[in-house]
Structure 1
């Protein structure tokens, strides 16, 4: 079960990366782990450093992928981003945290929703 969830997550992250690249985002890193937690994707959108949380939901789920990010997950993301910025000396760099929600589509293979500035904080 865990390995199939991991494979599904990896696949969703690859779909998100391709989608973001098609929109002009340059993907810098994937699956960044640190003491604060995990960051799915790190990219650059023009001059902005962007941290992406990727969420996939199966057809018929009760919530949208973006809606599944609760307060606790937001705090973990903020902590992971803070560690990333500190470790790489990027505190002065403009950045934001976005969410990419992916679900099975009806007319296309996937329905993708990119939510910019989904999680806000004074980093």
Structure 2
């Protein structure tokens, strides 16, 4: 049985995927899991591989979904992206970007933050 929270998360992620596709991005992978991290969406934007973290908060009083992507979470996403690129070496030769889709409130409002963080922001060079 799937929890209400998991169902809501899946619905928000699906809405984010539709939003990004409408903006011209192409889906490469969804919910890719590695030990220590997960990639919600892996997309292509032209020649750029985009690693997308989708975050939802029903109540934005303490910051929206994007505010929950702290340093620890960014590092997990970066490490998962590195593992993904190791499995797909042709993509490793292309530019990449880390985006966040902030989903907040009811009804859900989506805010796409392109280039939300960089490797340098996470302590990686």
Normalised by the shorter chain, which TM-score bucket?
0.7 to 0.9
Provide the aligned C-alpha RMSD in A: 1.8
How many aligned residue pairs are there?
Answer: 119
Whose helix fraction is larger, Structure 1's or Structure 2's?
A: 2
Equivalent in the alignment of 1:114: 112
Change (3 A) 1:112 1:61: same
**Cα separation, 2, equivalents of 1:39 and 1:77:** 6
Q: Which residue of 2 aligns with 1:5?
A: 5
* Structure 2 segments unaligned to the other structure (5+ residues): none
Give the distance between the partners of 1:118 and 1:104, measured in 2 at CA: 20
Instruction: Provide the C-alpha distance between the structure 1 equivalents of 2:28 and 2:111, rounded to a whole number of angstroms.
Output: 21
Runs of 4+ in 1 over 6 A off after TM superposition: none
What is the TM-score of this pair, normalised by structure 2? 0.86
Q: 1 CA distance for matches of 2:45 and 2:118?
A: 17
Q: Which runs of 5+ in 1 are unaligned?
A: none
